[in-house]
Copies of this chain bind each other. A is one copy, B any other.
């Protein structure tokens, strides 16, 4: 998506070898107009998939998920992050390792908010190794729901998450796929 790639080139900051900071428009300050344009692309791609629920994980996916949900006219559920596991009948839980923070989180969704009749679109701001999307898919599976697909703002194409999802046959839409990023700049996969 050219509009998003342009913003990444204009405002993105590369930190170290694998952090792309886009907190001026995506995950600290949020450009809601840009997100609406992104949401239209996602709707165009998934509009025939009968999506009736959008699933994301706190915190930075929530705003994006809410904007997208307006196009599908459906509700959002965001998984909550906890440091500890408390197995109860009330929650679906999955473990997610964060490479950015170097620790594990347990993500939780109250069972009654995803059911076997749901057709779920997973939304997130970033896809790198795929840990967060794997955790969210685990929850969709536990609920017996159908996974309609996954929509991502920025995929780091030089990490394995996207490749693995595509090999599984999952309908994955990444609005921008970063092919390389280094001192020479950022290139995108077309």
Contacts and interface: CB of A to CB of B under 8 A. Distances in A.
Interface of A: 23-24, 28-33, 35-36, 58-59, 62-63, 65-67, 69-70, 73-78, 80, 109-110, 112-113
A28 B110 contact: yes
Given A30-B75, A76-B30, A76-B63, A70 B23 contact: no
List of 7 A-B pairs having minimum Cβ-Cβ separation, nearest first: A63-B66, A58-B59, A59-B59, A30-B76, A62-B62, A29-B113, A32-B69
A24 to B, nearest CB: 7
Nearest to A63: B66
A74 B31 CA distance: 8
A59 B59 CA distance: 5
A168 B44 CA distance: 48
B63 A31 contact: no
Contact of A29 (B36, B58, B59, B75): B75
Contacts of A66: 30, 32, 35, 62-63, 66-67
